[in-house]
Structure 1
C-alpha cells in the first residue's frame, strides 16, 4: 500500500486532518492544486468564543478552545513556526441599551468565563468610537493561516508526502481494499476541498450553503490598539501598521472576485468605528464552505466506505478543525462513533433520494 490516507485539499481542514493522522503514526499523502482558489488563504483566521450581536457562546467552545491552543502550539514547537496569536477582542457598545443587555448576559457563568474585567476603555478612546465603553472577550486570537499552511506543506514536502496536482475523479479506482489513484493504492481517501466540494461527483448531494466574504488590508500609521476590535466588522492587527478589516457575508454571486460594493460596505462600517485616517492597500474575496445547518460535514460515503469527507467548517475553520479532526481520526481508526451532529449520516436521505447516486 502506498499510504494509509490520501487527503485531497490542503486548506485548514486538510492540513489539520493530515497532521492529526500523521501524529497518530499513519502514513499520509496530501494532494493540493496550488492554483485553485482557496478560502483558507483569504481567511482572517480569528477564533472567538463569543460571537454575533447577541453575544452567543461558540458551539462547543469549552472543548474547542483548550484543544486548539494545545494543537497549534504543539505544531509551532515541532515545526519551529510562529502563527498562533492570542488577543482579546474589544467590543464597543453601540448604545446604552446594548451595554445593559451585554452586562446582563455576562451574569451567566458560561459567558462570564470569557469576559475580561475591568476594561480600560480609555486606552481605546483615541482610536475607536466607544462613548458607551465596551467589553473584552478573552481566550480569543487568530491563526496566521498562510504561515500555518506553508509550515504543514513544507513538512509533507520534506517527507515526500505532498503532491501538487488537480485531482481528477476520472483517475480514481475504488475497490474493496481501498482506492487507487495514479497507480498508487491508499487505505482511505478523504476529501477536504472546502467550497469546491459541490463539484465533487461523490459528495455533490451534501447540503452546502457557501458564503462569499471579502476583507480589506489597510495601513494606519498611528493606530495603537494591539487587540482585535469587533463592532459589526473586525479590525485585526497583522504586522507593523498593517491591519485586516472584515468581513462581508453574501449568499449570491458566489465567485472569487472582489467588488466595489463589498469595499464600500466595509469602509462604511470602518468609518463608523474608527477615529483615525487609514488607507486601503488590498482587498480579497473568498468563499466559505458553510452548510445548511451550520455544522461540519464529516464521515464516510454511504456506498464507498473507503472514501470520506471532512468539510463544512464555515467561518470558524481554525476553531473547529483541530477538535473535530481528532474526533474524525478516532472514528476512522474504529475507536469511537462520530457525533451525530457532524456525521454526514444525518444527510443520507439526500443521497438515497437522488436520481443517480454515485
Structure 2
C-alpha cells in the first residue's frame, strides 16, 4: 500500500495551488478529482482588481496578497512552461462624485501603488463619455482554464492525480485509505460542494451563481480591462470575457437567457462598438457569508482539513492562503488568522 502525507480532494484553484505548495515543499501528496463535477474556476474570468470601486477602498489584504500571487504564478509558469498570468491596467469610468473621491485617494500614499492616473478622456475608443476615467495599476488576469489544464497535465505526468469520486461515507475513510493509498491527512477543496459536506455543514457557505460571456469585438482596444457595472476583459484575438451576474437561488451551472441579457444591457451602457457573442458560461462561486476564505482543521477529526471559500477574489487569494494551509498541515503550532480560520463558525 502506498503511503502519503496529504490527500487533496478537488482540483479547482484552491486544490491546485495547495497541491503545488505541498509538492514543491517535498511533501508527498495526491489529488482526487471528479472530472464530472463543475468548478467555478474554469468559468471565472480570472480577473484581479486591487481596488473595491463601490467604496473606493483597497481590496482586503491586497498589499500582502499581490506580491505572493505574482511570485507564485511566475514560478508555476516556469515549471509548467506555459504563460497564464498577465498584468493589464484597468479603466474605470467615473461620475463627478467618483472623480472627487479618486482624486482624494490619489494623494493618499496607501493608494499610490494602485491608482495610475485620472484622465479627462478615455485612453481607448468606443467607451461612453464619463466625467473622468480612473486608470488602475496592479490589475490583471489569470487564464484559469489554461492554468488548470497545464496543472492537470503536470499532475498526471507525476502520477499525482486520481480522477475519481470521493466520499466520506466509504468504510475506508475512517482508516485513512483511498484506492490502496494510505494518507495521513486529507484536505477538502471542493468549492461550492462544501455546502452539503457532512463534515463541514457548520460553515456558512453562501454560494453564488455567476454567468460570463465571451464576445468578439474587432474594433475594441485590447490594451485595458474596462470595468463599470460590468467588466470587459481582453483574452486575445479580439476576444473578451464580459460579466458577471450574481444569483443565489438557481445554483446550477446552466447559463440563462436572463443572465445573458443582464450582461448585454450593462455592456451596451459601457461601450458602443459592434460585437458578437461567441460563448456563454455559468458557474457557482464558493462564497462564504463573511466574504473570507475558510481554512483549518475539522473540530471532530484530527486528520481532516478544509481549504475553501475563495469566492470572487480567488486568483489573488489562493497563492497566499495555500501557503498558510501548507504551514497549518506541516507545522503543528501554526496559528491561522482569525478572519479565515474555520473556528469562527464553531457553535458556541
In structure 1, the partner of 2:109 is: 109
Distance 2:206 2:69 in 1: 25
CA distance in 2, matches of 1:122, 1:215: 25
1:190 corresponds, among 187, 192, 215, to 187
Residues of 1 paired with 2:288 and 2:347: CA distance? Answer: 16
Distance (whole Å) between structure 1 residues aligned to residue 143 and residue 303 of structure 2:
33
The counterpart of 1:239, out of the listed 223, 236, 241, is 236
Partner of 2:178: 181
CA distance in 1: counterparts of 2:118 and 2:339, whole angstroms: 37
Once the two structures are overlaid, the 10-residue window that deviates more, 334-343 or 302-311, is 334-343
Q: For this pair of structures, how many residues does the alignment match?
A: 346
Corresponding position of 1:229: 226
The answer to whether the Cα contact below 8 Å between 1:300 and 1:309 also exists between their aligned partners in 2 is: yes
Paired residues of 2:120 and 2:131 also in contact (CA < 8 A): no
Q: What do you get for the CA RMSD once the two structures are aligned?
A: 1.5
Task: Give the Cα–Cα distance (whole angstroms) in 2 for the partners of residues 342 and 10 of structure 1.
Answer: 21
In structure 1, distance between residues paired with 2:277 and 2:171? 45
Q: Hey, what's the Cα distance between the residues in 2 that align with 1:262 and 1:43? A: 15
Unmatched segments (≥5 aa) in structure 1: 351-358
**How far 1:2 moved relative to its partner?**
2.1
The whole-number CA distance in structure 1 between the counterparts of 2:164 and 2:137 is: 41
Aligned residue number for residue 319 of structure 2: 322
> Which residue does the alignment assign to 1:23?
24
For the Cα contact (< 8 Å) 1:7–1:28, is it kept in 2?
Answer: yes
From 334, 337, 347, give the equivalent of 1:336.
334
The aligned counterpart of 1:155 is 154
Which TM-score applies when normalising by structure 1? 0.93
Structure 1 residue 131 and structure 2 residue 139: aligned? no
Cα pair 2:214 2:242 within 8 Å, conserved: yes
Match of 1:45 in 2: 46
Moved more, 332-341 or 55-64: 332-341
Once residues 270 and 225 of structure 2 are traced to their aligned partners in structure 1, the CA distance between those partners, rounded to angstroms, is 13
1:347 corresponds to? 345
- Residues 19-47 of structure 1: per-residue CA shift (max 9 Å, x gap): 01111110110111111111111011111
The question of 1:61 aligning with 2:59 is answered no
SS in 2 for 1:2: strand
Residues 109-153 of structure 1: CA deviation (Å, up to 9, x unaligned): 2123211136484432x2111332211111110000111111211
* Cα contact 1:13–1:192 (8 A) shared by 2: yes
How far did residue 172 of structure 1 move?
5.2
Question: How far is the alpha carbon of 1:182 from its aligned partner?
Answer: 2.6
Q: Using the alignment, how far apart are the partners of 2:52 and 2:75 within structure 1? A: 26
Q: Which residue of 2 aligns with 1:212?
A: 209
Q: Residue 206 and residue 131 in structure 1: after superposition, are their counterparts in 2 closer, same or farther (change >3 A)?
A: closer
1:144 corresponds in structure 2 to 143
Q: Quick one: distance in 1 between partners of 2:289 and 2:186?
A: 24
TM-score (structure 2 length as normaliser): 0.96
Are the aligned partners of 2:118 and 2:132 in contact in 1 as well (CA < 8 Å)?
no
Separation in structure 2 between the aligned mates of residue 41 and residue 306 of structure 1, nearest angstrom: 29
Q: Mind listing any 5+ residue stretches in structure 2 that lack a counterpart?
A: none
> Distance between the aligned counterparts of 1:227 and 1:96, measured in 2?
22
